[in-house]
Structure 1
């Protein structure tokens, strides 16, 4: 390769946020989040039952560069729900309730038997806004609503500027929807037993609108498996001891970090050009999981092979862009690179940039 492994190690040193920097930011975030949770749980609202779901890059320990952006999921268990798939989407659903003799605590958010994502989100937002007023001297404010975003975004202004996306997630303990049947292809990599255990975990629904023509279907919920992603990243080796103190160190997470950094740096370089706007770290993460499926053995990810492993990840991602195919890791019927979601010129633009980087030893890393 055009780039020595030692050089990649240097890049990783650079993106390794100082633990201090992260924990300082995380401390403020946790304080605000705990405060909000206590208020929600102590109040008399429909959100009394919320709890924290610790997922996302911070908890996965693959957070890079910006310690000023955090995602937090507030989960709310909703028993006895019935899902109705929206337009064969596989990922988007209308949420209905099975008859509940004791009445339904979410009654007020129902719209013709359907749990209205927008109604529920508005109320969630309103309560958070009111609670934020009670938090003294942190300079916390709620950002104005962004269309199509499932998050309530808090801005913390001191000690420094941090934004926190709070996402409401419904928790269902039923079995996973049929669209996930052939997903999570980890049997050869992490084993069938691990797969069965993971599929016994709850699944989550976030209030993310499906696209409907040029608009949005405001009432749908989208499946989310971020808790499973976190789990896979944490226990990522075929051998139980992979990356443990006495175990052999692999470079899986390093590759994911480098891939995330590559996309981030390209976005920076091109000032968030329209062609790159639709690409996000979730695309990189999904492609990375597929490479783990493709190369399931720990010895294929030896730390000494970092360069080669990273190149495999880059090659796979380029392949996805060229074929316009990137299947959701949990819902194989969903193509994240379909033309409905990302136009071909955007994919061609990103391909071109990644190829340039790959052929020139990744100048964007320096």
Structure 2
């Protein structure tokens, strides 16, 4: 496992080159947004690179442009827990997003279309950057930097709300025994975000909904992950939590690569791995469980826990427990059974896939 982790470690010169290219792009987009309806937008970096669990190469970045909203009212969509209509309690003329309000609802599709157009117009001025085709239901505008190396950057607009988190998050974020009840209270005092992600409605999408996002909280947790406050700090004891997460992400990544021509694994993503991992950290909160010398056993526990989630067809959203990420409405049983079989085969044979590709 240590040899695999060495291969996955990012090289500092690659990180520096990628970060320079992404930062230059983000600065240019921010200048363009300042001259638009999104003039109040500021940058919120999230995703695996900023959580320091990126593997293989610094070739994928997630960047949020956040806009703080005045007083808003959320109306839950179809008892979903995760998707909401956004309404303004007041609609002052000074609100730059007021032009996107239709029948009192802030139009997610209208906001996203305008946001996408501004970015498209701006990157047409830049050589060696292309925009990917829009993915139905996705909140991201995906740009690909072609040189010096190909880097994919997901740009997402997020609405920031500083009001109380929605009621269905009340039992979520179960980190009290792991990080401490005070830490949980402090995390819940942070703002939450809404991204223009459309809820699935049979074979189509409800295009006016916004989805809750807690990626900033996930980043905080992963960067301050110890039961003791000094875990993995310069002078503190080390743990293997992040190494386990990297190996789990790599396992799924390799399986998706191996079976890329089959559709069974298309719905699975690193967010499923991360969510299961966070639940396992809650189950085993003590740093003593995650000693670096116990990496093999800890990784096997991660694999076993993920297999259990697949078998039981239940993976609770870490912040919204009513949402089951492995429910049939999101992923069919055939796909879950297929992934379960492939992981078990790898586990029984010492993970030969780690040496492939």
What is the TM-score normalised by the length of structure 1? 0.95
Can you list the C-alpha shifts for 1:283-340, whole angstroms capped at 9, x where unaligned?
0000000000000000010111111111111010000000000000000000000011
| Rounded Cα–Cα distance in structure 1 between residues aligned with 2:98 and 2:189 | 28
- 1:198 equivalent to 2:191? Answer no
Q: Which residue of 2 aligns with 1:3?
A: none
Shift of 1:360: 0.8
Q: Which residue of 2 aligns with 1:259?
A: 248
Shift of 1:139: 1.5
Shift of 1:51: 0.6
Which sections of structure 2, spanning at least 5 residues, go unmatched? none
Return closer, same or farther for 1:287/1:202 CA change in 2, 3 Å cut-off. Answer: same
| Rounded Cα–Cα distance in structure 1 between residues aligned with 2:72 and 2:125 | 34
Can you list the C-alpha shifts for 1:162-204, whole angstroms capped at 9, x where unaligned?
2211011110011100010000000000000000000000000
Q: Which residue of 1 aligns with 2:7?
A: 14
- 1:62 equivalent to 2:62? Answer no
Shift of 1:102: 5.0
Instruction: Tell me which moved more, 220-229 or 124-133.
Output: 124-133
Which sections of structure 1, spanning at least 5 residues, go unmatched? 1-7
What is the TM-score normalised by the length of structure 2? 0.97
SS at match of 2:46: coil
Number of aligned pairs?
A: 355
Q: Which residue of 2 aligns with 1:5?
A: none
| Rounded Cα–Cα distance in structure 1 between residues aligned with 2:190 and 2:121 | 33
Runs of 4+ in 1 over 6 A off after TM superposition: none
| Rounded Cα–Cα distance in structure 2 between residues aligned with 1:124 and 1:102 | 20
The equivalent position to 2:85 in structure 1, one of 75, 82, 94, is: 94
CA RMSD across the alignment? 1.1
Higher RCO (C-alpha 8 Å, min separation 6): 1
The equivalent position to 2:73 in structure 1, one of 79, 82, 90, is: 82
SS at match of 1:131: helix
- 1:142 equivalent to 2:131? Answer yes
| Rounded Cα–Cα distance in structure 1 between residues aligned with 2:57 and 2:9 | 10
Q: Which residue of 2 aligns with 1:35?
A: 28
Q: Which residue of 2 aligns with 1:118?
A: 109
- 1:152 equivalent to 2:144? Answer no
Q: Which residue of 2 aligns with 1:364?
A: 353
Q: Which residue of 1 aligns with 2:295?
A: 306
Shift of 1:67: 2.2
| Rounded Cα–Cα distance in structure 1 between residues aligned with 2:257 and 2:245 | 18
